Amino acid sequence: MSETELADPLMTAEHWKAAGRTVAIATVIQTWGSAPRPAGSHLVIDGEGNFEGSVSGGCVEGAVIGEAQDVIADGKPKMLEFGVADETAWRVGLSCGGTIRVYVERLG
């Protein structure tokens, strides 16, 4: 892979899938207020917990990776939301005053 391909989580997902790995993609689909990553940002996760890219940072990404493992296992996509109005936000570290919505799906 070229350096550009290595920097693109979607290319990573394609290569991992071609190598026989089970793969999920998390995509930031909406943000409000202060958010670490813009809409359209991707995090790619495989069935062993390896990941590339970023949807937020810190503990939010840890929570997304954990949810992605469930999505890989059962094939059912999930919509996740993290924000300061949600007590989960403080637990996972999104205390910047913003809200993000992340869609997680398994690649077929």
Find how far residue 7's CA is from the centre of its chain: 15
Query: Is pLDDT of 86 > 70?
Result: no
Query: What residue spans define the domains of the chain?
Result: 3-106
pLDDT at 4: 47
pLDDT at 63: 93
With beta carbons less than 8 A apart as the criterion, state whether 28 and 57 touch.
no
The overall average pLDDT reported for the chain is 86
**The pTM is what?**
0.84
List pLDDT tens digits, range 10-40: 999 999 999 999 999 999 999 988 788 899 9
